[in-house]
Amino acid sequence: MRLSSEERAQYDRDGFLVLTGFVETSSCDRLRARAEALVQDFDASGVVSIFSTHEQSRLTDDYFLTSGDKIRFFFEEDAFLPDGTLKHGKENSINKIGHALHDLDPVFSKFSRTPDLVQLVADLGIERPLLLQGMYIFKQAKIGAKVTCHQDSTFLYNVPIDIVGLWFALEDATLENGCLWAIPGGHKLGLKSRWLRSAEGGMKFEVFDSSPWPEEKLVPLEVPKGSLIILNGLLPHKSLANRSTKSRHAYTLHVIGGSSHCPESNWLRRTPELPLRGFD
């Protein structure tokens, strides 16, 4: 499977490209089943208290900030009752699993390292690719939180900026269940901000351009299960809350060029025991 020159031109123009039918339905189901099994094995008792206190708490930050080379579970904001217990079972409460699924879990590793992806990333011009982040997003029915308009390079910054986001629809993504929205051509607006570690501990934003996003230009990207949406790291995108009765599971994989540099001040860090790997 190769990108045509038209598809490549479209990606360069819009900053995104939708490839329907990129992944077999059976592969989507295998990944969903694996995510389900990981959640079943996850002991939520210790983490519920951390997340029920406050989402900005110091403990939550540490749990997140040290998850770059682990498999960790993050709850939906609206998953909790006022007393801090879960409204529903943990399988219907998790917002996402991150952020090294692609290296630490064999099923996710296999899904993330197919010949089709090797070819695709080469066709996108990423040289000596390294797999930076693998994340499973649930967008739960009823309580799936919105994601505000952002550029992935704000959070996964590298110099020079050389990153592509691969967004796999493991279920149909529709207007009702919170599909992605993107600003066609918005990747040409430049990087607006960067999220980095502050000297005092915790994180801060460094703002390069404080003008608001032209959100009236956002278009919905409704895609069927098995689709791949390729996202330029600079492309502004968002998703709305899911208040429907259907979840909207997706897997995202971020790939960087091997000669780019990820500063130490990025939130995502890898220990020397688990260096970044490519497709091999």
Q: Which residues bind Fe ion (CB under 5 A)?
A: 152
**Least distance to Fe ion, CB of residue 51, Å:** 21
Nearer CB in complex with Fe ion: 47/235: 235
Of residues 31 and 180, the one with the C-beta less far from Fe ion: 180
Return d(Cα 192, Cα 136) in angstroms, integer.
26
User: Half-sphere exposure (CA, 13 Å, Cβ side) for 94?
Assistant: 24
* Least CB distance to Fe ion at residue 167 (A): 8
| Sign for the pseudo-dihedral over CA of 18, 22, 28, 34 | negative
In whole angstroms, the minimum distance from the beta carbon of 30 to Fe ion comes to 24
Nearer to Fe ion, 93 or 232 (CB): 232
Comparing every residue's Cβ against Fe ion, the nearest one is 152
Q: Which is nearer to Fe ion, 86 or 145 (CB)?
A: 145
Beta carbon nearer to Fe ion, 48 or 162: 162
CB of 53 to Fe ion, least distance (A): 26
Q: Which long-range contacts (CB under 8 A, 24 or more apart) does 185-189 make?
A: 185/13, 185/14, 185/15, 186/15, 186/213, 186/214, 186/217, 186/234, 186/235, 186/236, 187/15, 187/151, 187/232, 187/233, 187/234, 187/235, 187/236, 188/15, 188/234, 189/234, 189/236
Which of 90, 162 has the CB closer to Fe ion? 162
Give min distance, CB of 133 to Fe ion, in A. Answer: 10
Q: Cβ of residue 142: shortest distance to Fe ion, in angstroms?
A: 22
Comparison of 90 and 187: residue with beta carbon closer to Fe ion:
187
The torsion region of residue 184 among left (phi > 0), alpha (psi -120 to 50) and beta comes to: beta
CB of 199 to Fe ion, least distance (A): 27
Write out the two tokens for 161. Answer: 């900026």
Alpha-helix residue ranges (DSSP H) falling in the chain: 5-14, 25-41, 45-53, 58-65, 101-104, 106-112, 115-123, 152-155
Three-class secondary structure of residue 61 per DSSP? helix
